[in-house]
Structure 1
Amino acid sequence: EMIVDACVEVVKRNERFIPPYGTGASLYLRPVMFGTTVGLGVKPAKDALLIVYCSPVGAYFNRESSRFWSPSTVNRTALLHVERAM
């Protein structure tokens, strides 16, 4: 929920940079979370920092070549792991 809220806030604050609909361009969002606890080791951090970068980007693909199949049963997100880090 915190990541979604942060992304929504970033989009609201950068609304003027959202490319017009129909241009194929978009507003790219990149949420990044990293541990800030002092020390280095193989264990979860006790403290973390969440940053959401955003930038307008042009169209990656033309409309003819952008058809692809993506399985709807595969979860490609890392939310389970992000929740464990918090």
Structure 2
Amino acid sequence: MAKLDADERNHLTGANFAFPDERKMPIEDACHVRNAIARFDQVKYVSDHERDAAWRRIVAAARKFDVEVSEKDWRELGKS
């Protein structure tokens, strides 16, 4: 995965993050989308409502970048 330096990260818009208010989990390419899915359960201090919205953004980005997501909901992560 390409690592973002501080300047590159500052130029990302809220739409480029799963959690835009917190600027957590960039999802601007397929590699970052896969990483966001893998680390989704590691995000702290966000509500279930925020997680629901972030999951929708991740799934939309996954479709855009042709990343397969087998889970229908973030609550299914790690259950299979």
TM-score range, shorter chain: under 0.3
TM (norm. structure 2) is 0.24
More strand by share: 1
More helix by share: 2
TM (norm. structure 1) is 0.23
